[in-house]
Structure 1
Amino acid sequence: MTHAAHWVPLSQEHHGGLMWQRFTAYHFAKTTTQVALADAELRHAAANFPIALTETNEGWQAVALLGLEDGLEDGQNLLVDDQGRWRAAYVPAALRSHPFGLHSDYPGRLCIDQHSPYVVERLDAEPFFNQHGELARFPAQVLTFLQQREQGCQRLSTRIATLAKATLLTPWQPHGYQGSAPLYQIDERAWQALSTKQVGLFWQLGAVPLVYAQLQSQQQLGRLQLYQQRKATAEPSVPPSDPLAQWQEALSSEAEYDWPSAT
């Protein structure tokens, strides 16, 4: 499931007196057990957490598995420790832009999570709007960033749908997974049975990196299982040095998703 965000379109009329604050911990994502990925994230994601394929009302998605259970009471993001620190070397783009986001009900509009503790009334925080009532520079850059990410998610959705139509997906029940959303994986045996010409067609569609990222990412399932085992003992994790800088550097290495600078 996703964290219980309350997305509303950002407007001068309703939010002109508010400010936003950069988050320093990931408590807001502690119940986020799945998050949609864009195509440019696949390489980083596959090295840090399992990637599953899911079918939603809006089409197929490639999602990062961040927990093995969902539900308001028992859903837990195993990549967030008790202090709100992120346990992996990469953070999905959808979580990096908090408290900003997009919502299908408000196409083309920058939204904010109105329940976020990082939407504040303090005057020492950062403004949503400039003196002309337009989006301030950084929120405007975030909107572009999120729109590019959404386009990347749509490209993946199209590629997954093509794989599904070719009967190259199979249900997946990872060991320990108790989530409510059915998961799918690449049918490796069916994939290996394809002819060179057929694989070439999938190369042309851009689907091959997705295939191998999903298959290779399954090795990361053990990491989630280990964190789940440690949950009861509340074993502390060791934070990386200057984690926000490292995560921004990792994401900015993908040109399509260059996280906007603060200046």
Structure 2
Amino acid sequence: MTGETTHRDGLRFVGLPDSGLSRWGPPKSFGFLRQVPWLPIADTELLHLSHFCPIGIVLGETGPSVVALMHGFWHPKGSVDAKGGWSAPYIPMALRSLPFRLSAAAGAVEIAPELIAPGEAVFALHDEDGAPGPEFAQALELLARVRRGASRLAEAAKVLLLAEVLVPLQPLREGGHADVWVVSREAVLALPPRKAAALTVLSNLGFELAGAALFSQRWLDRTRIEAGAARDLSDEVSLLPIVATIEDTVERLMVMDESELFSFEAFVAAETSTDG
């Protein structure tokens, strides 16, 4: 028994075996998203989503997560129209896989029964042999892609934590924990060389995340950003696995190229002789 869990947005998810369901259908309306704080995202959709909603970082018990901010408190224009339709050209994978999600801990499949409209349970969960039906299999593949991509983004978010370029947003609820952060443009522009170089680890994903997050702030209510300098959040999460990678990358970037393809000395000598 996987039990029942409730999202902080109020959606009730239960373990798929506990749901008693044999058929399902996708939500017909996304109106519930107006009360959802954020959606998980994958690295492959980061740039797409930065065009349509603010990108933030949530510090949770298992580490940082990169998310698309949904709630009108932070994202006043919203991504849902008056009829409950998704208004942006790109639909996040987390939405395309609803009413399913993977549990945060074990990765078991959970389902939100209330998102299945009455009379719209048109797809079988499993075929006669017990294998996932084609539509359910597609949802499972989307969930797996989000999980893999979110894991890569989480590592990039750790780079931003170490670089000290994050500032908090006002909490969604009065007295709530300030666990949503965004990238500070001022902090990024003020990065010293070694910290700036650290953003290039993980195939440049840290730098890409910082850039996409800043670009996405056109959709953010910037009055929700708490005043003050970017904070050192390195004590909030274990960063040890990535420190060695950053140190190695910075060390390599800081070494002058000594290959035969380019001679710095010859270049300087040529410039000197040209000047007379």
TM-score (norm 2): 0.65
Q: Please show how residues 125-140 of structure 1 align to structure 2 within 5 Å.
A: 125-140=122-137
Q: Secondary structure of the residue that 1:157 maps to in structure 2?
A: helix
Q: Measure the CA separation in 2 of the matches of 1:61 and 1:131.
A: 38
Q: Secondary structure of the residue that 1:62 maps to in structure 2?
A: strand
Instruction: Specify the alignment match of 2:86 in structure 1.
Output: 86
- 1:153 and 2:150 aligned: yes
Instruction: Specify the alignment match of 1:188 in structure 2.
Output: 185
Q: Measure the CA separation in 2 of the matches of 1:47 and 1:213.
A: 9
Residue 97 of structure 1 and its aligned partner are, at CA, apart by: 1.2
Choose which of 54, 58, 67 in structure 2 pairs with 1:54. 58
Question: Partner amino acid for 2:15?
Answer: P
Could you say if the C-alpha distance between residues 23 and 14 of structure 1 is closer, same or farther in structure 2, counting changes exceeding 3 Å? closer
Instruction: Specify the alignment match of 1:211 in structure 2.
Output: 210
On the 8 A contact 2:34/2:72 being kept in 1, the answer is: no
* Length, aligned pairs only: 212
Instruction: Specify the alignment match of 2:14 in structure 1.
Output: 8
**How much identity, in percent, do the aligned residues show?**
26
Q: Please show how residues 18-167 of structure 1 align to structure 2 within 5 Å.
A: 18-69=22-73, 78-107=78-107, 109-118=108-117, 125-167=122-164
Residue 63 of structure 1 and its aligned partner are, at CA, apart by: 1.9
Q: Secondary structure of the residue that 1:207 maps to in structure 2?
A: helix
Q: Measure the CA separation in 2 of the matches of 1:113 and 1:63.
A: 20
Structure having greater relative contact order (Cα 8 Å, sep ≥ 6) = 1
Residue 15 of structure 1 and its aligned partner are, at CA, apart by: 3.5
Could you say if the C-alpha distance between residues 121 and 23 of structure 1 is closer, same or farther in structure 2, counting changes exceeding 3 Å? closer
On the 8 A contact 2:77/2:219 being kept in 1, the answer is: no
| Structure 2 unaligned residues grouped into runs of 5+ | 1-6, 225-276
Choose which of 165, 169, 175 in structure 2 pairs with 1:168. 165
Residue 127 of structure 1 and its aligned partner are, at CA, apart by: 0.3
On the 8 A contact 1:37/1:63 being kept in 2, the answer is: yes
Tell me the C-alpha RMSD between the 2 structures. Answer: 3.2
Q: Secondary structure of the residue that 1:49 maps to in structure 2?
A: coil
On the 8 A contact 1:20/1:119 being kept in 2, the answer is: no
For each residue in 1:113-160, what CA deviation from the matched residue of structure 2 results, as whole angstroms up to 9, or x when unmatched?
1332348696xx110010012221221232122112112111111211
Q: Please show how residues 225-244 of structure 1 align to structure 2 within 5 Å.
A: none
Larger radius of gyration: 2
Residue 208 of structure 1 and its aligned partner are, at CA, apart by: 0.8
On the 8 A contact 1:48/1:220 being kept in 2, the answer is: yes
On the 8 A contact 1:20/1:118 being kept in 2, the answer is: no
Residue 164 of structure 1 and its aligned partner are, at CA, apart by: 0.9
Could you say if the C-alpha distance between residues 111 and 119 of structure 1 is closer, same or farther in structure 2, counting changes exceeding 3 Å? farther
| Structure 1 unaligned residues grouped into runs of 5+ | 71-75, 226-263
Q: Secondary structure of the residue that 2:220 maps to in structure 1?
A: helix
Question: Partner amino acid for 2:151?
Answer: Q
Question: Partner amino acid for 2:112?
Answer: D
For each residue in 1:60-94, what CA deviation from the matched residue of structure 2 results, as whole angstroms up to 9, or x when unmatched?
12222222339xxxxx9943234212232233221
Q: Secondary structure of the residue that 2:14 maps to in structure 1?
A: strand
Question: Partner amino acid for 2:206?
Answer: A
Residue 28 of structure 1 and its aligned partner are, at CA, apart by: 4.0
Higher mean alpha-carbon deviation, 213-222 vs 191-200, is at 191-200
Q: Secondary structure of the residue that 1:35 maps to in structure 2?
A: strand
